[in-house]
Amino acid sequence: MNFKQPNPMTFFATRSDIYPVLKSAESKLSVEYVECGLFVDDSVTRLPSLSGLQSLGVSNTGDPNTDATYMVVPSGAKVAIRTVPQRRGGVKFALDQLMNPGSVVLRLGGEVRGSRSILAGSLASVHTDAGARKVSSVFAEVLAGSFTKVKAFWLGEEAFARWKDGWRLCFKATETTEFDLSV
C-alpha cells in the first residue's frame, strides 16, 4: 500500500484499537518513545514500546494539552534537550521536536475517564527529513489499514462502534459538543 500521510493524522481509538497499531508499527521500525513536555530536570526516559502502558487508550484529563504526548525517535538516537529560562528565575528543560530531526509526535488520546467520550489522538511531525517521513508513513499505513476514515478522521473499530452508540468523539472533553465529530 502506498499511503501518503496527511499532516497531522487525527484518529479516535480505544485501547483495543491502538494496541495492534503500535505492535505492528513497532515490528517494522526500530524506535523508542520519549515523553514530550517542559520538565524541571533534564533526564530523558526512553520507552521501548507504548503498548505496555497502563494508561494506553485512556485520557486521564480529557485535555490533549495535559495528557502525555510522545516523541517517536529512532532507537538509540541522541535526544536533544533545550534549556528554557523562566521569567521568575531558574530554567526548565524542553523535550520536543525543535532540535530533534527525524522525530514524530504521537498523541494517543483515548477514552476519557468518567465519561462516554473518546479524545482524539494524532500523529504529526514538524520535520520533513527521511527519518520522520519513514516513521510517519509506517504508523500512518498501519493505522489507515485497520481504521475507518470518517470525514478527515480515522476511527478504530471499537471507537467507531461507541460513536454509533452515542459516545462523543471530541478534541477536548470540556468543550461543547458542537466541536465533536458528528454523524
Predicted confidence band at 3 (pLDDT cuts at 50, 70, 90)?
A: very low
CA–CA distance, 110 with 62 (Å, rounded to integer): 9
**3-class SS of residue 101:** coil
Residue 115 lies in a domain: yes
Take residue 153 and report the three cell numbers written for it: 478522521
Is 1 among the domain residues?
no
Q: Is 16 helix (H, G, I), strand (E, B) or coil?
A: helix
Q: Which domain does 168 fall in, by range?
A: 9-179
pLDDT at position 2 is 46
pLDDT of residue 18: 97
36, part of any domain: yes
Encode pLDDT of 101-143 as tens digits.
999 999 999 999 989 999 999 999 999 999 999 999 999 999 9
On the question of pLDDT at 6 being above 60, the answer is no
How far is 101 from 6, CA to CA, in rounded Å?
Answer: 18
Query: First vs last Cα of the chain: how many Å apart?
Result: 28
**Per-residue model confidence (pLDDT) at position 179:** 87
pLDDT digits (tens, 9 = 90+) for 49-97: 999 999 999 998 999 999 999 999 999 999 999 999 999 999 999 999 9
Q: Rounded to two decimals, what is the model's pTM?
A: 0.92
| pLDDT, position 152 | 93
Domain count, the chain: 1
Residue 5 predicted with pLDDT over 70: no
Residues 28-48 have pLDDT tens digits of 999 999 999 999 999 999 999
